[in-house]
Structure 1
Amino acid sequence: MRFERVPMPEAVAARPRDDRGYPVPAITPWQDGLPQFALTDHDRSANCALERLCSVCGGFMPRGPVWRVVGADESGAIAAALAGGRPYRNLAPTLEGPGHRACMLYAAMVCPYLARPNARRRTGGQGPSEAQGPATALTAAAVRGAVRGGEGAVVGFGDYEYAVTGAQVLFRFLDLVEFLPHESADEQLPLLQAELDSRAGRTAGP
């Protein structure tokens, strides 16, 4: 699905755009007036972690669940844990920060790397393998150049932890609360639309 057809959360619509009209995530650095989508800005990511801001829209995330998009390996691990009636917890850190539910559903649909199982993330950014040795399977989604793989997912967690170093901002997610798998992220469209409609209803009030 072309990104112009994906309904956009209001806060994402307020983000700066590139020449194609793509909204630029809050953690994306700029160089010579152009967004560098393949990179993550350390200071922007650190600010999102410290101030509890969405890594997509940059807006505040109230206390409570946060969401992220995961690749095939972590999606498979979550599915296996749920099928076996086991709690899921991934202690491996990731460079990918949290966000609002609507923002992560939107990101899953419009980001080519997140939306398609055969997509490959562009090289040039710093992933775990470049900073701390080989990445584990469950952090492979954060490695530039990695293929997303089969079934991805938008996943909700009760909270997150973070560590800010001079070179990286690392996140760890706690207490699984929602698991929304997809082969193609277009499958998330009804959930995104329902989330946006629910937000609009809450804003309008009685």
Structure 2
Amino acid sequence: MRFDSVPMPPAVEARPRDTRGYPVPAITPWEGDEPQFARTDHGRSANCARRRLCSVCDTVMAPGPVWRVVGATESAAIAGALAAGRPYRNLAPTLEGPGHRACMLYASMVCPYLARPNARRSLTADAPDELTAHVVRGAVRGELGAVVGFGGFEYAVTAERVLFRFLDVLEYLPHDTADAHLAELRAELDRTGPGQRR
């Protein structure tokens, strides 16, 4: 599915664009006039965490649930916990911040790496370690990603990175290809309207 055929949340529509027309997420660093997709800017990410801003659109998230897109490994862990009737909590922190439901549904469909199981990473992490060892150029996303709603999140800002943990799974929307979320995104945009503060 082409990114320009996916309905865009109003706050995402207001974001700066790259030369192809892709909206640039709030946490994406820039080098000159070029956004560095697949990388995270420490200052921008810290600002989003501290001010409870969506990591995609950079607007305030209301108190309550937050969403994020997860890859195959975490999606499988969440699915397993839900199937067994156990709570899920990601004890290992992640570098990916939360966002609005509509923004994460949108991101899952327009980000090439998130949208398809055979998509490959275009970049390797700058300084690979235990949190970014999987961020290797050419790595495949894998089967069954998901958009997941959580009751809340915790964060820590260190000198090198911003770390997130998510609490209480409220919604689990798995996908092989993310265009499966198209109807859900349209319904969410209709429900939230132009103010989109959820």
Give the TM-score taking structure 1 as reference length: 0.90
Structure 1 runs not aligned, ≥5 long? none
SS of residue matched to 2:93? coil
Compared CA separation, residues 113 and 202, structure 1 to 2 (3 A): closer
C-alpha spacing 1:165/1:158, structure 2 compared with 1 (3 Å): same
Matching residue of 1:109: 109
Separation (CA, whole Å) in 2 of partners of 1:51 and 1:131: 27
Contact 1:40 1:125 in 2 (8 A): no
Correspondence for 1:179? 172
Whole-angstrom distance in 2 between the partners of 1:17 and 1:151: 28
SS at match of 2:55: coil
The answer to whether residue 12 in structure 2 is matched with residue 12 in structure 1 is yes
Deviations 1:110-164 (A, max 9, x none): 000000101122224347xx244775xxxx4xx2433211000000001111111
Q: Which amino acid letter does the alignment assign opposite residue 5 of structure 2?
A: R
Does structure 2 retain, via aligned residues, the 8 Å contact 1:95–1:171?
yes
Q: Write the distance in 1 (CA, Å) between the matches of 2:106 and 2:136.
A: 21
Shift in Å at residue 88 of structure 1? 1.2
Query: Are 1:194 and 2:187 counterparts?
Result: yes
How many pairs does the alignment contain? 195
8 Å Cα contact 2:49/2:155 also seen in 1 = yes
User: What value does the CA root-mean-square deviation take over the aligned residues?
Assistant: 1.7
SS of the residue corresponding to residue 162 of structure 1 reads strand
TM-score (norm 2): 0.93
Identity over aligned pairs, percent: 69
Could you say which structure has the higher helix fraction?
Answer: 1
Matches within 5 A, 1:33-52: 33-52=33-52
Q: Which runs of 5+ in 2 are unaligned?
A: none
After TM superposition, list the pairs within 5 Å mapping 1:30-109 onto structure 2: 30-109=30-109
For the residues of structure 2 that align with 1:162 and 1:122, how far apart are their CA atoms? 27
Letter in 1 for 2:152: D
Provide the secondary structure at the position in 2 that maps to 1:7. coil
**Structure 1 segments of 4+ aligned residues over 6 angstroms from their partners:** none
